[in-house]
Amino acid sequence: KNQVEQSPQSLIILEGKNCTLQCNYTVSPFSNLRWYKQDTGRGPVSLTIMTFSENTKSNGRYTATLDADTKQSSLHITASQLSDSASYICVVSAIYTGNQFYFGTGTSLTVIP
């Protein structure tokens, strides 16, 4: 069964600290993986997208990694800011499944001063 699991479910960190969010998937055959940031009351915004051949992708203070062998991805946030408080969602696509995307339930991050 194709699934995406994210951990932790929620996380609280101090401003300026780093953190790492995890995404494990069983989707097969794997096509690509995208991380979104969703602010409260807003729609998700794409942060990074990674294909099978990509191990690391950065977007400012956000760095995503992908290990296709272990079917794990992580999103690392460096020097967190209050504006990083949001839900982070991992979405995985499989080859040949058209518009079937597999969504994780997200990690809720709170950055406190």
Partner 1 sequence: DAGITQSPRHKVTETGTPVTLRCHQTENHRYMYWYRQDPGHGLRLIHYSYGVKDTDKGEVSDGYSVSRSKTEDFLLTLESATSSQTSVYFCAISESQGRGGQPQHFGDGTRLSIL
Binding stretches for partner 1 (CB under 8 A): 31-32, 34, 36, 41-46, 49, 51, 89, 91, 93, 98-101, 103-106
* Residue at 42: amino acid letter: R
The structure tokens 């991380």 sit at: 35
Closer Cβ to partner 1, 12 or 45, answer by number:
45
**Least gap, CB of 113 to partner 1 (angstroms):** 27
CA 96 – CA 99 distance, rounded (Å) = 9
Closer Cβ to partner 1, 18 or 58, answer by number:
58
The structure tokens 């794990």 sit at: 72
